[in-house]
Every structure is written in C-alpha cells, then in structure tokens.
Amino acid sequence: MSNSKTQQDQNTPDKLSSAISSEIMIELGTVNKWYGAFHVLKDINLVVHKGERIVVCGPSGSGKSTLIRCINHLEEHQEGSIVVDGITLDKNLKNLDHIRTEVGMVFQSFNLFPHLTILENLTLGPIWVRKMPKAEANANAMKYLERVKIPDQADKFPGQLSGGQQQRVAIARSLCMNPKIMLFDEPTSALDPEMIKEVLDVMVELADTGMTMIVVTHEMGFAKTIADRVIFMDQGDIVEENEPNEFFGNPQHERTQLFLSQIL
Amino acid sequence: MATGVSGSEAVRVKPQEKFNFFQDERVRSVFFQILTVAIVGWLAWFLASNTAQNLDKRGLSFGFEFLDLVAPFDPDFKLISFTAGVDTYWRIFIIGILNTLYISFLAIIGMSFLGFSLGIMRLSNNWLISKVALAYVEIARNVPLLIQIIFWYSVIYAVLPRLKQSLDLSFGAELAFLNIRGLYVPWPVLGDLLWMTFLALAIAAIATYLFRRWVQKRQDLTGKSFPLLLPSAAILIIFPGLVFLLTGSPLSWDIPELKGFNFVGGASLPRAFIALLIALIFYHSAYLAEAVRAGILSVNKGQGEAAMAIGLRPNKVFSLVTIPQAMPAIVPPMISLWMNVVKNSSLATAIGYADLVAVYMQTSLNTAGHAIEIVGMTMGFYMITSLTISGLLNIYNKRVQLVER
Ligand SMILES: Nc1ncnc2c1ncn2[C@@H]1O[C@H](COP(=O)(O)OP(=O)(O)OP(=O)(O)O)[C@@H](O)[C@H]1O
Ligand SMILES: [Mg+2]
C-alpha cells in the first residue's frame, strides 16, 4: 500500500476536478440481501449522481463486492429497490438487459475470455449485444486498446499478457460497450505492485472523462485523487460516508478509525 | 558472484569418474533391455512352435485359405447381399464388420446428442429436470451393460405385439410395422434418373453454403443478422424437389408385406438390433453426461459473470463463452467413450445381433475351425478401429493446443 501511495504522490498530485450533474444515475433504497440466513447487506441507501466517482472501502467480508454486484444483478437482492439510469431492476428481463448494457464491470481476477484473442474479447459484446458490424466493432475496439495503451497486443491471447495488461484489456472490454456507469471490484488487488500504477493511471484518465464510477479499492492515494465521496462499509452497513479529505483526515466513527489505522 | 574468481578456483578440474562396470547406469539399462527382448522373443518362439506342433499333431493347419470357402449359413442381418451356398467366409467377415460399424455409428450419434442434453439438464436450475437427469445417470451407470442389453431385449418382447397384431406405425396406411421381431419400414428403390435429383441436392447444398457465407459477411459489415434457417431449408428442399418431379419421380418404395410367417420386402431392423442400440445409447450417454457436466463446471464462474456483465443473454453466454472453454475437457473423454461403444457392441452376441463377434468369431469359428486366425482377425479389427478413433483424439488435441497459444 505504501508503494502506491508514493506513486500517487509523484504521478497524480492534483485532485481531479469533477463535474457532478444533478441527474441521478443509481439509486438504492433500503436494499437488503441475505445469503441463506446470513444478512450481507443491511438497509443500504445510496444515491449516485451522473459523473460522480465513489470509492468503497471496508474490511474483508463487509459486503463491498456484494453491493456493487447487486447493481448489475450478478447478485439478487431480496428487499428494497435498485434503480439504474431510471430503470428499476426487477423481474423484467428487458430491464435487466438494458441495465447490463449500461453498466460496465471490472473484476479483481480480470475474467478475460481465454479462448478469444484480445480483439475478440473486446468485440464480443458490441457484435452480439449491440449488433455492431464487425469492421466497426474492430475499429471501436482498437480505439479503446489505444486508450489503455496496448494496441499492439490485439491479436494475442489473454494468457500471453501480464496481469496489468490483462486488467487494462478488461477495462477496455467494458468501455467498448459504451457504458454510462463503470463498476470496479478491487481491480488492482490481484496485481504485482509494479503493475498497479499502469491500471490506476487508466482509471484516473477514465475518471477524467466524466464517467460515473463506483470503485471498491484500498488504494487510498487513488481514492484521494479521484473520489468525490468515500464510503466505508462494515458488516453489511454503510458506516461512514464523506468526501475524501474529511474521510481520511477526520474519520468520525470508531470502526472507520480502526480500519484506516490498519491499512494506512 | 562471477567477480573475484581466485586462481585456484579457475583451474579446478572435473573430478575423474570412477567407472564400475556392474554399477554403471548405462551398462545396466542396456543389459536389461537386451534381457527383455530375449525373454519376449523366447516366449513368442515357444508359443508359435508349440502351437504349430500341436496343430500338426491334430492334423490341423494354420492359414487363411478357409476364407475362400463357401459359408454354410446365412447371417440374419446384413447390409450387403449374401447368397447362401455361394458366398464365402470372407464375405461373412465383411458383413460382420459392417454390422458392427453400423450399430456403433448409430449408437455414437445417439449417445453424443443424448449425453450432451443430459449433461446440460444435470446443471439446470429446474429442480425436477436436474433430478430426472441425475436418476437417469445413476441408473444407467450402475447397472452392468450386459444386463441392460438383455433388459431392453426383454422389454421389447414384453411390450410389443406379436406378428399378426403388428403395430401399424403409418396409422392404417400399412407402410411400416412394429412387432416383437423388430421394425419393418419401406425401402427406396432407386430409378434411372435419380442421379439428377442428387446432383440438384449437391448444388442446393453449395448454394446454401454460399448463402450462409453471405449472411455472415453481411452481419460483419452491417451488424444486421438475417434469418438463416427458413431460406436454407427452402433452397435445400424446393430445388431438388422440383428436379425430382420434373424427371418423373424416379423413386419407388418397396413396402413390407405380411406373407405367411414374416414380413417380406422393405427393410427391417431386428429386435436384437433395436435392443442393443437402445442399451448402448442409454449406457454410454450417462457417462458422457457426467463428462459434459464436469467440463462445464470446470469453466471458471467468473467467465459467465464477465459475459453477463457485458450484456450477453444466458444462451449466448453458454454458446460463446462456456461451451468453447468446456470443449477441451469434454472431447477427450467423449472420444474414448466412442471407442467403448465400438468395443461394447460386441456384447451383441448375448442377444444374437449379427455383429462381427457373433457372426464371425462364433458362427464361422464353429463351422470352419481356425480359431487362431479368426480370433486374431477379429482382434485386429477392434484394434484398428480403436486406434483410428484415438487418432482422431490426437488430431483434436493438437488443434486445441494450436488455438490456445
Ligand atoms: N455466494 C455466497 N454464498 C454465501 N455467502 C457469501 C457468498 N458470497 C459472499 N458471501 C459472504 O458474504 C459476505 C460478504 O461478501 P463480499 O464478497 O461482498 O465481501 P467483500 O467486502 O467484497 O470482501 P473482500 O474484501 O474480501 O472482497 C462474506 O462474509 C462472504 O463470506
Ligand atoms: Mg470483494
């Protein structure tokens, strides 16, 4: 962690300006979720505006992954409402399809498709979901590969890339669907320290374009740079929620203080 | 590490190896190889010379001349003609091979389809579907194949009507019949001009192929997909159909008819064939189902999640992401199951289907003698068939390796 902090200090010293609009992108109303008898999410209320960047942190098992996986319905919630881009997540499959195309997701373990080339990984969604012509999908994919700075890897297979490169491809794969919202679940925690920065750089650039983002991460330097709000979760609760300087400089809750003292 | 090598270190020499003839690894390995060859060679010589001596003593001979002798019986199921009293043991051998390959081929196709369906059913979220598939797999795998063959043979006997009450499968048109002896269906008699219809069919096939390529190209260019199934079917049916009618319908049917104690004409599949086919499919599809299930489960859960997260529907997730990654784990066990189907079809002999073992290794052996030659030829056939199938597997494995990297 200390490693990335120094990187952040050197490379992204300025706090990004943000352009939060009043338009609401995501709204969670008293969401509850259980795994069997285990109560994972407890009365979660969260409103995310267009262009807002949220960092979620908290101890292992506190429900961070579950929270963001509920937003694109990789997990099902049992109580409460989730509204994404004006569409309520319910049993209606059309709504689900729509939300999935609007929300991109990046996983801790990359989850690239190993049987497809990098280019094919990027064009799979546009071709089959967006019904984009192949040539256009290829051009579109190359544009995003350039944005994540690995256009020369287009014809390789995921197994031939380093972890950092794979995660950048995964980000590009989501962006190819032209989503309005990006979810990140600990995108750098499976990476060697020297690769963390290359991924964070890409994410900072993405934040700069005004993308609405929810990022689960423990990279505090990164959080200070991009976050409009930091959310601290513990045992299924949102315990504390504040803008980053206040959050790190002056945490209110005991549990937050304890957590911060452990990771900083 | 490389710096500062002192003088004494630089002149260090390789220590002299002490060579001990009896302890040396190379000497030993050569010695044991020679010994193995000698033992195997001696065994082979011993068996061969003893056999020759014993055959001699009993006035028997070794040789394949018997294959040219007329076989004094008529196999009751054959794909090629056989004239009793004229055709030879060699033709019996060929008939047996064709019968074995015929039932194996049909069983392989059947078990592959059924095995995949069952494997997917096993993973269904629907409780009933997955439990039905589970019960099927458990029953089929835990009862010995031989017993299953006899079971189906008896079931067909118990369930189907006798000859005089044959079930008319064509709903009163008297075209196809089912009874305890088997299935009787009309058989086509080819007319002179039929080749033109086949030609038309070939042309239609090529046209369909080109049409599909055009659709694919169009999708690549514009992203729009075009209905494939209906137009393909239309091309394949309408054009050959027109040619067929214009050439005066050069095809007639030989329809089975009840004459005396049996049906004559048409084509028939005997009860033993049907029972064996069902049993082979039932038994092997259960093993394939398990391989398919394991293959699908071996695909990382994150793969499906990533595919769903970019908006793919479950059926597309399955066909574009899950199945392609599961195939390398499914194909090798599937091919070795195909091999088992061929080998296990030899259990036909228990219910009297005229496969290679029944018609050649048993009936022919009883009438012609020459056990060593006949058993040897039969073994040779199964070995060559199995090796051919495992050759397929090697080709597949090579291709998978190429694609992955
Ligand atoms: N499929 C599941 N079935 C049962 N329990 C689960 C399941 N997935 C997660 N859990 C439990 O739910 C709790 C929250 O999990 P979650 O993955 O959301 O935590 P997290 O905050 O992301 O933790 P980490 O930092 O380790 O990723 C954990 O206690 C976990 O054991
Ligand atoms: Mg997690």
pLDDT tens for each residue of A167-192: 999 999 999 999 999 999 999 999 99
CB A7 near ligand 1, within 6 Å: no
Residue with CA closest to ligand 1 atom 27? A60
Residue of B nearest to A101 (CA): B311
User: Which residues of A are less than 8 Å from B325 in CB distance?
Assistant: 113-115
B301 in a domain, yes or no? yes
Chain A within 8 Å of B325 (Cβ-Cβ)?
yes
Predicted local distance difference test score (pLDDT) of residue B49: 86
- In the stretch 155-214 of chain A, residues with CB closer than 8 A to chain B read 157, 159-160, 170, 173-174, 177
The arithmetic mean of pLDDT across residues A239-264, rounded, is 90
CB A212 near ligand 1, within 6 Å: no
B369 in a domain, yes or no? no
- In the stretch 225-264 of chain A, residues with CB closer than 8 A to chain B read none
Across A129-167, b (16+ Cβ under 10 Å) vs e yields: bbebbbebbbebbbebbebbebbebbebbbeebebbbbb
Predicted local distance difference test score (pLDDT) of residue B136: 95
Predicted local distance difference test score (pLDDT) of residue B188: 78
pLDDT at A54 over 80: yes
B168 in a domain, yes or no? no
How far does B74 lie from chain A, in Å, by closest CA? 54
pLDDT tens for each residue of B119-173: 999 999 899 999 999 999 999 999 999 999 999 999 888 888 887 788 887 787 7
How far does A195 lie from chain B, in Å, by closest CA? 22
Domain with B293, as residue range(s), is 64-159+271-320+328-337+346-353+398-405
User: Which residues of A are less than 8 Å from B310 in CB distance?
Assistant: 100-101, 104, 124-125, 129, 173-174, 177
> In whole numbers, what is the pLDDT of chain A averaged over residues?
90
Predicted local distance difference test score (pLDDT) of residue B9: 56
Predicted local distance difference test score (pLDDT) of residue A16: 67
Range in A32-41, A59-68, B15-24 with the lowest mean pLDDT: B15-24
Predicted local distance difference test score (pLDDT) of residue A142: 96
B286 in a domain, yes or no? yes
- Does the distance separating the beta carbons of A74 and B221 come in below 8 Å? no
The two structure tokens encoding residue A6: 């120094």
B294 in a domain, yes or no? yes
Predicted local distance difference test score (pLDDT) of residue B221: 78
Q: Which residues pair with B402 in a beta bridge?
A: none
User: Which residues of B are less than 8 Å from A125 in CB distance?
Assistant: 310-312
CB A66 near ligand 1, within 6 Å: yes
> CB-CB: which of B219, B225, B312 is closest to A125?
B312
User: Which residues of B are less than 8 Å from A118 in CB distance?
Assistant: none
Which residue's structure tokens are 């069952």?
Answer: B118
Chain A within 8 Å of B309 (Cβ-Cβ)?
yes
Chain A within 8 Å of B301 (Cβ-Cβ)?
no
B227 in a domain, yes or no? no
pLDDT at A1 over 50: no
Predicted local distance difference test score (pLDDT) of residue B139: 94
> CB-CB: which of B221, B223, B309 is closest to A105?
B309
> CB-CB: which of A72, A109, A137 is closest to B309?
A72
- Following DSSP, what letter does each residue of B295-349 receive, concatenated? HHHTS-HHHHHHHHHTT--HHHIIIIIIHHHHHHHHHHHHHHHHHHHHHHGGGGG
Residue of A46, A27, A10, A52 whose CA lies nearest to A215: A52
B8 in a domain, yes or no? no
Ligand nearest to the CA of B301: 1
pLDDT tens for each residue of A135-172: 899 999 999 999 999 999 999 999 999 999 999 999 99
Chain A within 8 Å of B10 (Cβ-Cβ)?
no
SS3 A218: coil
Residue of A174, A219, A227, A220 whose CA lies nearest to A196: A219
Residue B339 CB coordination number (10 Å):
20
Predicted local distance difference test score (pLDDT) of residue A161: 94
Predicted local distance difference test score (pLDDT) of residue A116: 94
Chain A within 8 Å of B222 (Cβ-Cβ)?
yes
CATH code (residue B84): 1.10.3720.10
SS3 A153: helix
Q: Which residues pair with A237 in a beta bridge?
A: A234
B144 in a domain, yes or no? yes
> CB-CB: which of B305, B312, B405 is closest to A129?
B312
| A26 CA to centre of ligand 1 in angstroms | 22
How many domains are there within chain B?
1
Q: Residues A164, A110: contact at Cβ < 8 Å?
A: no
- What is the complex's ipTM, to 2 decimals? 0.89
The arithmetic mean of pLDDT across residues A50-69, rounded, is 94
Predicted local distance difference test score (pLDDT) of residue A4: 43
- The residue ranges of chain B whose pLDDT is under 50 are 1-7, 405
Residue of A nearest to B321 (CA): A113
